[in-house]
Amino acid sequence: MKIHKEGRRILFFTLLALLAINLLLFQFNARAETFNLIFVGASVIAFLLLLQFFRSPFRNLLTHEDLLIAPADGKVVVIEDVHEPEYFDDVRKQISIFMSPINVHITRNPISGIVRYFKYHPGNYLVAWHPKSSTKNERTTVVVQSEAGPMVLFRQIAGAMARRIVWYVNEGDEVSQGEEFGFIKFGSRVDLFVPVDTEVKVQIGEKVKGGQTVIAQLKTTNPSLFGN
């Protein structure tokens, strides 16, 4: 198990701060031994929780040009046809994955192709499952021209706890399915927008793993045999 690069600085300074506070307590509050021991225990638990948030587990990535692979760990909370106003300005099928604080928060390219559009939007911090979080919260929008042909839009969306979105892609980049395209810190959501004739392979409430779970199959002239 590795620690993601986005967490190393935070973990280092958090560890230093907790060590300093605990040393000061034992130095200047030595009589309150019980309280000091409880604080030590709480410090260890808090650090371990932070450590697990920034974990970067090894994944055997599933790749195929017409399969849409989960961009993140989490639970499927939305599958519906909606109007997508930012890029397509037409009806698309939306598939949303909610990431709780205990999920791995690496975000991965759901498909291989060329980045045709990228934009960062500052915004609010509504809870990630709020219907308006997709258009009101801090977010990034990425549109990839897939190798299979169809265009796929996906968004990193900040939640009530998430206060920083990190991305590693720009317009014109060639991206590979399963590779990291960003990281969202402390609870969030990823939305996918695909053509309405896309065959969805997951259900509401299903838990998915980034880089491994097949979310959907794009309609192409030469489809794979997945799911047949």
DSSP 61: -
The pTM is what? 0.81
| CB neighbour class for 122 (10 Å; exposed up to 12, middle 13-18, buried from 19) | exposed
Query: With 70 as the cut, is the pLDDT of residue 200 above it?
Result: yes
| Res 34: pLDDT | 83
Least confident of 5-9, 116-120, 129-133, 135-139: 129-133
Residues 6+ apart with CB under 8 A from 66: 146, 148, 217, 218, 220, 223, 224
pLDDT digits (tens, 9 = 90+) for 124-140: 656 655 555 566 778 89
Q: In the prediction, which pLDDT does 226 show?
A: 58
Q: Give the model's confidence band at 223: pLDDT under 50 very low, under 70 low, under 90 confident, else very high.
A: low
Average per-residue pLDDT in the chain?
Answer: 85
Q: What angle do CA 224, 227, 228 make, to 5 degrees?
A: 80
Percent of the chain with pLDDT over 90: 47
Give SS3 for 131.
coil
Q: Give the active site residues.
A: 188
Q: What count of Cα atoms within 13 Å lies in the side-chain half-sphere of residue 168?
A: 15
